[in-house]
Structure 1
Amino acid sequence: MGTKENPIKTWSRACRIPPEFVGKYFQVHNGRIFIDVYISEDMVGHALGEFAPTRTFRGHGEIVKRTLEKT
């Protein structure tokens, strides 16, 4: 359990990362799919969900050709 071939699958995004998890592989659910997360020493004390983003940033509004014609 917790290896790259056999990661620990979890839906618990609020779970805090203890030092015992360092070096383990997790699959954290982001609401749609599972995101692979490798736990390093810097992640201790944070929540698992912080490393599996739930939203896709598509950038700020781009200028559309139709909008340019109106101005």
Structure 2
Amino acid sequence: LGHTFAVHDGRKHVPVFITESMVGHKLGEFAPTRTFRGHDKDDRKGRRR
């Protein structure tokens, strides 16, 4: 508890700080592998009727 590990997410190493709620989990669960950039703002094109 209280340590920081460098966990590889497939591209780079991500620092993960260990807390008490993380005990029993695998370290890879706390290194996000995909970046969410959001959806398109202009969604009116798909709603024509």
> In the alignment, what sits opposite 1:44?
23
RMSD value, Cα: 1.5
| 1:55 CA drift (Å) | 0.3
Residue segments in structure 2 that go unaligned for 5+ positions in a row: none
The answer as to 2:2 corresponding to 1:29 is no
Residues of 2 paired with 1:34 and 1:44: CA distance? Answer: 20
Residue segments in structure 1 that go unaligned for 5+ positions in a row: 1-21
What is the aligned-residue identity percentage? 59
| 1:58 CA drift (Å) | 0.6
Runs of 4+ in 1 over 4 A off after TM superposition: none
| 1:45 CA drift (Å) | 1.0
| 1:61 CA drift (Å) | 2.1
| 1:25 CA drift (Å) | 1.4
- TM-score, with structure 2 as normaliser: 0.75
Residues of 2 paired with 1:54 and 1:46: CA distance? Answer: 17
